[in-house]
Amino acid sequence: MSMPSAVPESAGPDSGAPVHVIGAGPGGLAVAAALRARGVDALVLERSDAVGTSWRHHYERLHLHTTRAGSALPGLRIPRRYGRWVARADLVRYLEQYASHHRLRVATGVEVRRLERTADRQWVLHTAGGRRLTGPAVVVATGCNHTPYLPDWPGRDGFRGTLLHAARYRDAAPFRGKDVLVAGAGNTGAEIAVDLVEGGAARVRLAVRTPPHILRRSTLGWPSQRSAVLCRRLPVPLVDRMAARVSRLSVPDLTPYGLPRPEAGLYTRVRQGALPVLDVGIVEAVRRGAVEPVAAVSAFEGEKVVLADGTTLAPDAVIAATGYRRGLEGLVGHLGVLDADGRPLVHGPDTHPGAPALHFLGYSNPISGTLRELRLDARRIARRLARAAH
């Protein structure tokens, strides 16, 4: 889609200037649709050439860990034919259908690099091409998976094997017959480890810094997401105790295999930013020795990897499932709206006192499911902005 013409800086709140939404992932599309439903014009700005870019680039075997019904965005159900656990490729198709169904205005190839507030209460969006857009409100929805994070391990650049971030992993084919170390035991690392085993890797080890909580994706047909929704407002100690009981009943103790149960409670860890791992094969793979848990990566020495316990390995490849950074510093870091870790201090329908009409959507990892919370927050933001517009 071609670049929209810039709105004059003198335009006021009643000039017809749209709400600018930065990012055409699920969050950006959801809030644009919710705004349209309330009669508020929205323009979605996407730096790549298509909607749902981050989902297009995830590994092939990825499926949602939340149910189809619990993952739909406002105003359009996910087709039943996509199954209960929606595949990555089907989610991309759904996002394309969603943008078309709601007739959303999406400008691709537009990278917004910096936001500034004018004296007449307008937001100016500076793009990579040097052009400026101006409007009364902005929703930032570029997501938590914006910038792959690769730890600065000592000796990393001199590693003689293959080292890549999980963002560049697609499938196991390039690693067939190879010795692979996956660094990071979150959902991504655990699932990639299983994918490598099923794809014919000769040996797969999983480097674990902090043992994760592991839950079944569903038990007797009851998805863990529903339990999370029911528990999300309960006291943390209570949820920790309930989750510990459920885990002991449904997930075998993997301590003998090198993966002990965590010391901190499940909800305590969630509040610290660590979601539980939903089992899509990792439990069985560890029990039969197909995936071997080892200590965290500490450093690299030539062709070797040094672990935190002093052990050295010589894998053919290391896949770093070490997470992402939000990458908001250049865009809004100068506005005083981020905490020390680069997360928005205020998100959802509320805004920071120093940045009115600047909303952030999708920068948390809720236990109840990211897409579900995106849907709820998108509607709340749209309601707030519609009131301001009228």
Q: What's the whole-number average pLDDT of the chain? A: 91
Question: Of the residues 320, 347, 378, which one is the last residue of a structural domain?
Answer: 320
Answer yes or no: do 383 and 279 share one domain: no
Same domain, 232 and 347: no
Q: What is the CATH number of the domain that holds 44?
A: 3.50.50.60
Closest alpha carbon to 175 in 151, 200, 193: 200
pLDDT at 3 over 60: no
Report angle CA 208, 211, 213 to the nearest 5 degrees: 135
* Element spanning 124, H or E: strand 123-127
Reply yes or no on whether the pLDDT at 261 is more than 70.
Answer: yes
Task: Work out the average pLDDT over 88-113.
Answer: 97
Total domains in the chain come to: 2
Position 16 scores a pLDDT of: 55
Query: Of 289, 320, 351, at which residue does a domain stop?
Result: 320
**What pLDDT score was predicted for residue 297?**
98
Spatial neighbors of 271 by CB under 8 A, at least 6 apart, are: 236
Together in a domain, 216 and 110: no
Whether residues 234 and 306 fall in one domain: yes
Residue 5 inside a domain? The answer is no
Residue type, 378: A
352 and 266 share a domain? no
Position with higher pLDDT, 256 vs 224? 256
Q: Is 32 exposed, middle or buried (0-12, 13-18, 19+ CB in 10 A)?
A: buried
Could you tell me the pTM of the whole model? Answer: 0.88
Do 164 and 291 fall into the same domain? yes
Q: Which amino acid is at 118?
A: T
Whether 8 is in a domain gets the answer no
pLDDT bin (cut points 50, 70, 90) of residue 301 is very high
Angle between helices 88-101 and 26-37 (to 10 degrees): 20
Q: What is the mean pLDDT of residues 212-228?
A: 80
pLDDT over threshold 60, residue 13: no
Residue 226 domain boundaries? 149-320
pLDDT (tens digit per residue) in 351-382 = 999 999 999 999 987 777 889 999 999 999 99
> Would 331 be classed as within a structural domain?
yes
Q: What percent of the chain shows pLDDT beyond 90? A: 76
Within 8 A by CB and 6+ apart from 58, the residues are 88
**Do 51 and 166 reside in the same domain of the chain?**
no
Widest CA span in the chain? 68
Q: Which of 218, 287, 301 is nearest to 258 (CA)?
A: 287
Q: Give pLDDT, residue 228.
A: 78
Residues 301 and 250 in one domain: yes
Residue 384 φ then ψ, to 5°: -65, -45
Cα separation of 167 and 147, whole Å? Answer: 9
Q: Tell me if residue 285 falls in helix, strand or coil.
A: helix
Q: What is the mean pLDDT of residues 209-223?
A: 84
Residue whose tokens read 């007797």: 220
More confident residue, 224 or 280: 280
Same domain assignment for residues 216 and 275: yes
Predicted pLDDT of residue 86: 96
Same domain assignment for residues 219 and 334: no
Does pLDDT of 315 surpass 70? Answer: yes
- Please say which residue of 320, 340, 364 terminates a domain: 320
**Average pLDDT, integer, range 176-194:** 97
d(CA 189, CA 166): 8
| DSSP state, residue 151 | -
Q: How far is CA 109 from the centre of its chain?
A: 21
